[in-house]
C-alpha cells in the first residue's frame, strides 16, 4: 500500500516506529540527569538487604521457647525460677557502713507483697518514706542503712505476730497462735519501660495480685530435716510447682539452724501471685509468682527475747499458657510465602530494569544500577498487598508470645542486666515486624479513600518516605528498661478472710485448657502487640 501524500501546510504525526529511538534517547537523558544522592542508595541497599534476609535473621516461626520449662501441657516456666539471698543481718555486720540497695524494698516485684503487708499493718511510718513512695523525690543512690533494714524487718515480723487476722477474728483462735494466715488483695502500679513512662495515659498498668502470709514459730530444733514442712502443711500448698523454692528455703533454714543451734526461729513467708492476664490469639495467660522468706533468729531467756539475726531470702518465677508451638507450621508457611514473594518481586524488578536497558543505546551496567536505585525502595517493599497480608497474619498470631519472650529477656533478678549485642540485634529485628501491620493499615486507608467519588486527578493519600520504618523503629526503643523508671507503688490493699481453696482455684484458672482456634476467632488483638511490652 502506498503511503498517503501529505497535504501542503498540514503537519503529519510521526509513527511510533520512527520516533522510538528518539524517545529512548530522551528516557536515557532523563535517567542521567535525575539526581541520585548517595544516602538514597545506601538506604535502599540496607532496606533490600533487610527485606531479603528477614526470615533468615529472625526465623519463620517460634519453634521452641528458650529457657522455658514445661510443667503442664502448654504451660511453661518462662522466667526463672530464681532463688537468692537478699541480706543476712547480725550484730557482726549490722553496724557496717555499707548500705543496702533500696531496690529490694522499693522496686523489686518481690517487695510488692512486703509493702502491701506494711500498708495493711499501718506500719508505713516505721519504714523510710522513700521506700514506701511517700516522697516523690529522694536520694536512692545512698541506699538504706543496715540498722534501718534490721529494724524494718524485725518490726514487720513482730507486728504480724501481734496482728489479729480476719480469719482469727471469726474464730476462737487465740491472737498468739504459733501459726497465722493472712490473705491480702493488692493493687499496684507497674512502670519500667519507655512507652509506659512517655505514654502513661495510654499504657498505664494497674496490676492485681493476691498475697498470702504464713508464719511459723519454732522454739526447738526440728526432729525432721524437712523444715519448714513440719511447721505447717500450707507452706507447700501455696504453690505446688514451686518445689525449687521449698528446697532452697529448707536448705537456708537448716543452715541458719546450724549457725544458731539453740535459738528460736520465727519465720514469715509471703507469697504474691498476679492475677491471670488473658491476652490475644495464641497467648492465653500469664502469672508471676514471688516468695519472700523472712526469718528472725532470737535468743530467749526467762523474761524476754533478743533478736540476734534477720535473714531475707527471695524466690521469683513466672508461668504462661500458650499454644504457639502448635501453630508453628501455619505461621512458618505464612512467613515463608511472604518471604518467597519478596524475593520473586525483587528479582523481577532487576530483570525488568535489565531488559529495559538493553533497548537503550550506549547503556552500561552503571546505568542499569543507577536506574534500579532511582526506583523508590519503599514502593518495591510495600507496594504489593500479598506479602504484607502474609507477614501481618503471622505477626498477629505470635507477636504476644514474642513480646513476652522479649520482656523476659530484659527482666532479670534485682534489675541487673548485661547487654549482648547479638541478642539486641535479634530483638530489634523481631520488634520491627510491626512495620507490616502499619503497611497494611496504609493500604486499607488508600483503599477506603479511593472507593467513592475518586479520580486519578485527585491522587491518593501518600505516606512520607520511610515513615513506616521510623514508626516501627519506635517499638524497638520502647522496649528499653531503665531501673530509675520502675514504679511499683502499692495503690490499695485489702485484707480478706483466709481461704484454703484459693491456691487451687487460682491454679485451675491458669491451667484451664484453651483452644487456639477459639482464641483466634473470639479474642481481640492485644493493643500492645504493635508496641512494646
Q: Please give the pLDDT value at position 116.
A: 93
**Cβ neighbours around 518 below 10 Å, total:** 9
Q: Please give the pLDDT value at position 23.
A: 64
DSSP 10-71: -PPPPPHHHHHHHHHHHHHHHHHHS---HHHHHHHHHHHHHHHTHHHHH-SS----TT-EEE
Q: Please give the pLDDT value at position 313.
A: 92
Q: Please give the pLDDT value at position 220.
A: 63
Q: What does the block give as the cell for 306?
A: 533478743
Residues 345, 338: Cα–Cα separation, whole Å? 10
pLDDT tens profile 92-150: 888 888 888 888 899 888 999 999 999 999 998 889 888 888 887 777 778 899 999 99
Is 395:531 a contact under the CB 8 Å cutoff? no
Task: List beta partners, residue 487.
Answer: 191
Q: What does the block give as the cell for 117?
A: 503487708
Q: Please give the pLDDT value at position 3.
A: 52
> What is the pLDDT of the chain when averaged over all its residues?
77
pLDDT tens profile 358-372: 776 666 787 788 878
Q: Quickly state the pLDDT bin for 203 (edges 50, 70, 90).
A: low
For the ranges 73-82, 155-164, 309-318, 504-513, which has the lowest average pLDDT? 504-513
Q: What does the block give as the cell for 167?
A: 480469719
Q: Please give the pLDDT value at position 25.
A: 61
Q: Which of 285-299, 456-470, 471-485 has the highest mean pLDDT?
A: 285-299
pTM strictly above 0.85: no
Query: Which of 401, 404, 424 is CA-nearest to residue 331?
Result: 401
369: exposed, middle or buried (Cβ count in 10 Å: 0-12, 13-18, 19+) = middle
414 torsion bin: left (phi>0), alpha (psi -120 to 50), beta (else): left
Q: Quickly state the pLDDT bin for 423 (edges 50, 70, 90).
A: confident
Q: Which of 184-188, 430-434, 443-447, 473-477 has the highest mean pLDDT?
A: 184-188
Cell numbers 507477636: residue:
399
Residue with the larger pLDDT of the pair 478 and 48: 48
Is 210:185 a contact under the CB 8 Å cutoff? yes
172: exposed, middle or buried (Cβ count in 10 Å: 0-12, 13-18, 19+) = exposed
Amino acid at each position: 500500500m502506498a503511503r498517503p501524500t501529505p497535504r501542503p501546510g498540514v503537519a503529519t504525526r510521526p509513527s511510533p516506529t520512527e520516533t522510538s529511538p528518539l524517545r529512548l534517547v530522551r528516557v536515557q537523558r532523563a535517567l542521567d540527569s535525575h539526581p541520585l544522592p548517595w544516602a538514597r542508595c545506601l538506604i535502599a541497599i540496607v532496606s533490600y538487604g533487610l527485606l531479603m534476609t528477614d526470615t533468615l535473621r529472625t526465623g519463620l516461626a517460634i519453634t521452641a521457647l528458650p529457657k522455658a520449662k514445661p510443667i503442664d501441657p502448654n504451660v511453661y516456666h518462662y522466667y526463672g525460677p530464681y532463688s537468692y539471698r537478699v541480706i543476712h543481718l547480725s550484730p557482726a555486720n549490722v553496724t557496717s557502713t555499707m548500705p543496702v540497695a533500696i531496690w529490694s524494698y522499693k522496686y523489686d516485684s518481690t517487695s510488692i507483697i512486703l509493702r502491701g503487708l506494711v500498708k495493711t499493718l499501718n506500719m508505713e511510718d516505721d519504714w523510710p518514706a522513700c521506700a514506701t513512695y511517700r516522697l516523690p523525690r529522694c536520694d536512692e543512690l545512698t541506699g538504706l542503712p543496715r540498722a534501718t533494714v534490721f529494724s524494718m524487718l524485725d518490726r514487720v515480723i513482730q507486728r504480724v505476730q501481734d496482728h489479729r487476722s480476719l480469719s482469727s477474728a471469726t474464730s476462737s483462735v487465740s491472737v498468739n497462735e504459733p501459726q497465722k494466715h493472712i490473705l491480702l488483695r493488692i493493687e499496684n502500679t507497674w512502670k519500667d519501660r519507655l512507652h509506659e513512662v512517655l505514654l502513661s495515659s495510654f499504657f498505664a498498668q494497674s496490676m492485681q495480685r493476691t498475697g498470702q502470709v504464713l508464719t511459723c514459730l519454732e522454739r526447738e530444733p526440728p526432729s525432721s530435716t524437712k523444715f519448714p514442712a513440719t511447721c505447717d502443711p500450707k507452706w507447700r500448698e501455696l504453690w505446688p510447682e514451686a518445689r525449687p523454692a521449698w528446697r532452697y528455703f529448707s536448705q537456708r533454714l537448716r543452715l541458719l539452724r546450724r549457725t544458731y543451734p539453740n535459738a528460736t526461729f520465727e519465720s514469715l513467708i509471703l507469697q504474691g501471685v498476679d492475677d491471670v492476664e488473658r491476652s490475644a490469639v495464641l497467648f492465653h495467660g500469664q502469672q508471676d509468682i514471688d516468695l519472700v522468706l523472712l526469718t528472725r533468729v532470737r535468743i530467749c531467756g526467762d523474761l524476754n527475747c533478743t533478736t540476734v539475726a534477720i535473714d531475707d531470702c527471695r524466690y521469683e518465677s513466672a508461668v504462661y499458657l500458650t499454644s504457639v508451638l502448635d501453630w508453628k507450621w501455619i505461621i512458618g508457611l505464612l512467613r515463608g510465602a511472604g518471604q518467597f514473594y519478596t524475593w520473586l518481586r525483587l528479582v523481577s524488578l532487576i530483570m525488568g530494569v535489565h531488559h529495559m536497558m538493553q533497548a537503550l543505546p550506549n547503556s552500561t551496567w552503571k546505568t542499569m544500577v543507577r536506574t534500579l536505585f532511582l526506583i523508590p525502595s519503599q514502593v518495591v517493599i510495600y507496594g504489593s498487598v500479598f506479602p504484607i497480608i502474609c507477614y501481618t497474619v503471622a505477626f498477629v498470631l505470635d507477636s504476644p508470645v514474642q513480646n513476652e519472650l522479649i520482656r523476659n529477656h530484659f527482666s532479670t533478678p534485682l534489675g541487673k542486666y548485661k547487654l549482648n549485642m547479638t541478642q539486641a540485634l535479634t530483638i530489634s529485628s523481631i520488634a520491627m515486624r510491626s512495620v507490616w501491620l502499619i503497611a497494611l493499615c496504609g493500604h486499607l486507608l488508600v483503599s477506603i479513600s479511593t472507593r467513592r467519588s475518586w479520580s486519578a486527578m485527585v491522587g491518593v493519600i501518600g505516606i512520607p518516605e520511610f515513615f513506616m520504618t521510623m514508626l516501627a523503629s519506635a517499638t524497638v526503643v520502647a522496649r528499653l528498661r531503665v531501673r530509675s523508671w520502675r514504679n511499683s507503688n502499692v495503690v490499695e490493699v485489702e485484707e480478706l478472710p483466709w481461704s484454703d481453696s484459693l491456691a487451687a482455684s487460682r491454679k485451675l484458672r491458669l491451667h484451664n485448657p484453651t483452644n487456639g482456634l477459639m482464641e483466634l476467632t473470639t479474642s481481640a488483638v492485644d493493643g500492645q502487640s504493635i508496641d512494646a511490652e
